Structure 1
Amino acid sequence: MAARAGRARATVRDIAAETGLSIATVSRVLNGQANVAPHTRELVQRAVGRLGDQAPRPRAIREPSPGAVYVRCPYVLTDYFGLIVSSVGETIELHGRQMILSAGEAAQAAPVLPGLPDRQDIAGAILILPPEPGEELALLRDRGFPFVVIDPRTPPPKDIAAVSAAHFAGGRKLMAHVAGLGHRRVGIIGGPVAWLPSEARLAGYTASLADAGVLLAPELVRNVPEPSTEHGYLAACELLDLPERPTALVAFNDKMAVGALWAAAERGLSVPGDLSVAGFDDIDVSRATSPALTTVRQPLQEMGRMAVTLLVRLLSRHAVEALHVSLETELIVRGSTGPV
């Protein structure tokens, strides 16, 4: 397209129409934001060249922003979230920055994300299991604010850095162990519906059962609104009171597995003699039960360290190619699982 000589100055909207990119993406390039793919930046620059002097010129990529790292964990800092937050804080300090922590369930209702880019004291953020929908995360990304998500609830939008555990692989390894002990009627105490970890682990369980020639019956699956010990207990009670009870229970996390142990004890079932029970996470409670829980170890502290490393690279304006990082899990076999 020829330069628009004698016409009004070209706008960001004109460049967006020229390139087929969104106005937000073009703005990020023109404002010198670093979290833009190289080919996208080049596309905008070529369009600016075609539009000639009428087009706004891209600014140089900005230097790393000063300021603290905002860490949002809108949950009680138990041994699960506490391990993640502790490793995040230690790693932030190693990089010479300070941490601003927002934690506790009361923080879930606070509309925090829209105001983060306007805070001069904050350079970037770590968002742990954010309750906000993906659309809000995408809006934060489009404003050029650097952040990393740890343990996302839903599949993270494109171009958003995220760190999680390999939930599918962990679920598959755990169920392969249970099926290898001869269990074919296995009850699943799943996490909240539509959570990414819930769906991924269930897919892993189902894959291993299929390998053993078993089709998971819908009556053997229970999902809970919150992954707590109490909800694990209630779900286990329903499963163990079926006319044909399962011979094993696999819970979404260790706390829910503890609830399953309570339900088994109330019914006079021995573990693992009458019933095998397994959890997920390998937090402290998994080693405090009798028998100790078979579980899947998530690298919680490494998730925190990796998230800070990604954020520091974003703050330093480095290109980050591996935006969605999935860390390996490990099967930990203890006394709560045994042969049928």
Structure 2
Amino acid sequence: MKRVTVRDIAAHAGVSIATVSRVLNDQTNVAPETRDLVQQTIERLGGHVVSRRPATSGPIFLRCPYLLTDYFGLIVSSIAETLDLHGRQVVLNAGEAAQQHRVLPTLASRAGVAGAIIVLPPEPGAELVALQEARFPFVVVDPRETVPRDIAAVSAAHFAGARSLTTHLVELGHRRIGLIAGPDNWLASTARRAGHTSALADAGVLPDPALALPGEPTVRFGYEAAQHLLDLPARPTALLGFNDKAASGALAAAAQRGLRVPEDLSIAGFDDIDLAQATRPTLTTVRQPLQEMGRIAVSLLLRLLNHHRLDALHIELATELIVRDSTGPVPR
């Protein structure tokens, strides 16, 4: 008999890979007519079905569809190093070009791959749910949007980190704080903005929508957003960047206007990548445990592969406020 994969069956039957997997594993949450269709397709193909059961000794698929610099490079390196300690090989899918390929729908049918670690997935949440329903073991690092509670995920405490940073500025006397935010559809953006708003509320300050600009957190966006905020009739006394890159762009915009940091304007970032200590002045920021996020992701995945019970599927790692030279008292 010829070899027939789950992917072959799904394509011929016109159903998802997850549905075929549920039929093969005799799960009950499949409509009778769909179950009949899949079984008839298997008979029509006349082959030996190779059911997708993860090979627990196989390599780990690591997807990070971004340039592997600073933030992402630290996470990916940590994951690869930790997997190597456990004798695991890595199949790396990285780079911005990887965003153009639909990878998640094919993972459950990849022969030999034991599981996956997916970093900040740009795919819609429905694809993660389908992958989980296919009983394919995977862990999400820094999810872009809210994931169901039964999908393993690890991230940093974005809310607490942003709250501590804004509280630091409030204690220095700042009330009019510009926010160079991340994309509106990112879970981290929502959490950090909520933390920022919470700290302002403690000081009796209502957030001004005109002081918050969302966008891709790059140096260029930080520069352009800071220009806009500093051109307001009542300019902010402090700027918060979604990350250190955006904050470094804000530093450049301040320098162009002849503003001294922190004497005339305070600026802070988030992440604490190497860039934060290379700027002048050095950046006040929030340190994310990026390498520990990678190590925890590997630990969760190995436990899934060994069929261990996981009670804490969503793990948030503590952040730390790092005060350096770019923040100071509100100018009089």
Normalised by the length of structure 1, the TM-score is: 0.82
**Corresponding letter in the other structure for 1:89:** A
Amino acid at match of 1:330: E
1:220 to 207, 211, 220: 211
Task: Look up the SS of the partner of 2:309 in the other structure.
Answer: coil
Q: Name the CA distance, whole Å, in 1 between partners of 2:318 and 2:20.
A: 37
Cα distance change of structure 1 residues 240 and 184 upon mapping to structure 2, 3 Å threshold = same
Q: 1:27 to 1:120 in 2, by over 3 A?
A: closer
Q: 172, 188, 200: which one pairs with 2:179?
A: 188
* CA deviation map 1:180-221 (0-9, x unaligned): 000000000000112000000000000001101111111111
CA distance in 1, matches of 2:278, 2:328: 18
Q: Secondary structure at the match of 1:204?
A: helix
Distance 1:95 1:208 in 2: 42
| Aligned partner letter, 2:225 | A
Q: 1:136 aligns with which of 116, 127, 134?
A: 127
Q: Determine which of 194, 209, 229 is the counterpart of 2:219.
A: 229
Asked if the contact 1:67–1:120 (Cα under 8 Å) also holds between the matched residues in 2, the reply is no
CA distance in 1, matches of 2:55, 2:308: 10
Counterparts of 2:196 and 2:303, CA distance in 1: 36
Counterpart of 1:126 in 2: which secondary structure? Answer: strand
Structure 1, residues 64-113: CA drift from partner, whole Å, max 9, x if none?
62210000000000011000000000111111110010110000010111
Distance, in Å, in 2 between the alignment partners of 1:186 and 1:114 is: 43
- Map of 1:243 onto structure 2: 233
Are 1:326 and 2:292 an aligned pair?
A: no
> In structure 2, do the counterparts of structure 1 residues 298 and 29 end up closer, same or farther at CA, with 3 Å as the change threshold?
farther
What letter matches 2:113 in structure 1?
I
Query: Is it true that 1:146 corresponds to 2:137 in the alignment?
Result: yes
Pick the aligned partner of 2:294 from 304, 320, 326.
304
Q: For residues 232 and 339 of structure 1, do their structure 2 counterparts lie closer, same or farther at Cα, with a shift above 3 Å needed?
A: same
Q: Deviations over 1:107-149 (max 9, x none)?
A: 0010111111111121000000000010000000000000000
Q: Could you tell me which residue of structure 1 aligns to residue 94 of structure 2?
A: 103
How far residue 29 of structure 1 moved from its aligned partner, in angstroms, is 10
Alignment coverage as a number of residue pairs: 290
The CA distance in 2 between the partners of 1:334 and 1:291, in whole Å, is 8
| Shift in Å, 1:63 | 8.9
Question: Residues of 1 paired with 2:149 and 2:315: CA distance?
Answer: 13
Correspondence 1:25-104 to 2 at 5 A:
31=25, 65-104=56-95
The alpha carbon displacement at 1:25 in A equals 9.7
Query: What SS class does the counterpart of residue 231 from structure 1 fall into?
Result: helix
Counterpart residue identity of residue 140, structure 2: V
Please give the secondary structure, in 2, of the residue aligned with 1:304. helix
Residue number among 231, 243, 251 corresponding to 1:261 in the alignment: 251
Distance 2:297 2:73 in 1: 15
Q: Which amino acid aligns with 1:277?
A: I
1:282 to 272, 276, 279: 272
The runs of 5 or more residues in structure 2 that have no matched partner are 1-17, 30-52
The one of 163, 166, 184 equivalent to 1:175 is 166
What letter is aligned with 1:143?
A
Q: Tell me the percent identity.
A: 65
- TM normalised by structure 2 equals 0.84
d(CA) in 1 for partners of 2:327 and 2:191?
22
RMSD across aligned positions (CA): 1.9
Match of 1:70, SS state, is strand
Q: Distance in 2 between matches of 1:270 and 1:337?
A: 11
State the one-letter code of the partner of 1:158: R
8 Å contact kept, 2:63–2:117: yes
Q: 1:64 to 1:189 in 2, by over 3 A?
A: same
How far the C-alpha of 1:157 sits from its partner, in A, is: 2.1
Counterparts of 1:74 and 1:323, CA distance in 2? 23
Q: Which runs of 5+ in 1 are unaligned?
A: 1-23, 33-40, 45-61
Q: Is the 8 A contact 1:64 1:317 kept in 2?
A: no
Question: For residue 132 of structure 2, what is the amino acid of its counterpart?
Answer: R
